[in-house]
Structure 1
Amino acid sequence: MNLRLVISGLVIAGMFTACNQTGETKDAKAVDSTAVGSAPAADLKDDKTQEVYNDYLKLKDVLVSSDAAGAQAAGKELATSLANVQGCENTASLANKIAAAGDLKTQRVHFTALSSDIVALLKHTDVNSGAMYVMHCPMINEGKGGYWLAAEKEVRNPYYGDEMLNCGSVKETIGAGKN
Structure 2
Amino acid sequence: MKHFLKTAAAPVLAIVLLAACGNAEEKKAQTAADSTASAATHDHAAMQSETAAASVQLKDDKLNAVYQHYVHLTQALIKGDAKEARLAGNAIETGAAAVAGGEAIKASAAKITATSDIEEQRAAYSTLSNEFISLVKKAGVNNGELYVDFCPMALNDKGGYWISNNKAIQNPYFGDKMMTCGEVKETIQ
Q: How does the TM-score come out when normalised to structure 1?
A: 0.75
Q: Which residue of 2 aligns with 1:148?
A: 162
Task: Pick from 152, 168, 180 the counterpart of residue 138 of structure 1.
Answer: 152
Q: Which runs of 4+ in 1 moved over 6 A?
A: none
Task: Pick from 52, 55, 61 the counterpart of residue 39 of structure 1.
Answer: 52
Q: How far does residue 105 in structure 1 lie from its aligned partner after superposition?
A: 0.7
User: Over aligned residues, Cα RMSD in angstroms?
Assistant: 1.7
Identity fraction in percent: 41
Q: Which residue of 2 aligns with 1:65?
A: 79
The one-letter amino acid of 1:85's match is V
In the TM superposition, what are the counterparts of 1:20-31 in structure 2 within 5 Å? none
Q: How far does residue 144 in structure 1 lie from its aligned partner after superposition?
A: 1.7
The one-letter amino acid of 2:163's match is L
Q: Does 1:123 align with 2:149?
A: no
Aligned mates of 1:86, 1:45 — CA distance in 2: 13
> Which segment is superposed worse, 59-68 or 120-129?
120-129
Q: Which residue of 1 aligns with 2:9?
A: none
Q: How far does residue 87 in structure 1 lie from its aligned partner after superposition?
A: 2.3
The one-letter amino acid of 2:85's match is A
Q: Does 1:173 align with 2:184?
A: no
- Which of 1 and 2 has greater Rg? 2
Unaligned runs of 5+ in 2: 1-45
In the TM superposition, what are the counterparts of 1:101-112 in structure 2 within 5 Å? 101-112=115-126
Q: Which residue of 2 aligns with 1:21?
A: none
Aligned mates of 1:123, 1:138 — CA distance in 2: 21
Q: How far does residue 39 in structure 1 lie from its aligned partner after superposition?
A: 2.3
Q: Which residue of 1 aligns with 2:174?
A: 160
Q: Does 1:75 align with 2:89?
A: yes
Bigger helix fraction: 2
Q: How far does residue 38 in structure 1 lie from its aligned partner after superposition?
A: 3.7
Q: Does 1:86 align with 2:100?
A: yes
Aligned mates of 2:182, 2:149 — CA distance in 1: 7
Please tell me whether the aligned partners of residues 146 and 163 of structure 2 are also in contact (alpha carbons under 8 angstroms): yes
Q: What is the SS of the residue equivalent to 1:171?
A: strand
Q: Does 1:56 align with 2:70?
A: yes
Please tell me whether the aligned partners of residues 151 and 160 of structure 2 are also in contact (alpha carbons under 8 angstroms): yes
Unaligned runs of 5+ in 1: 1-32
Aligned mates of 1:35, 1:80 — CA distance in 2: 25
Aligned mates of 1:88, 1:39 — CA distance in 2: 24
Residues 76-118 of structure 1 deviation map (CA, whole Å, 9 limit, x = unaligned)? 0011110111221222011011011111011001111111100
The one-letter amino acid of 2:56's match is A
Instruction: Name which structure has the greater RCO, CA cutoff 8 Å, separation 6+.
Output: 1
The one-letter amino acid of 1:77's match is A
Q: Which residue of 2 aligns with 1:97?
A: 111
Aligned length: 143
Please tell me whether the aligned partners of residues 89 and 109 of structure 2 are also in contact (alpha carbons under 8 angstroms): yes
Aligned mates of 2:171, 2:138 — CA distance in 1: 24
The one-letter amino acid of 1:160's match is F
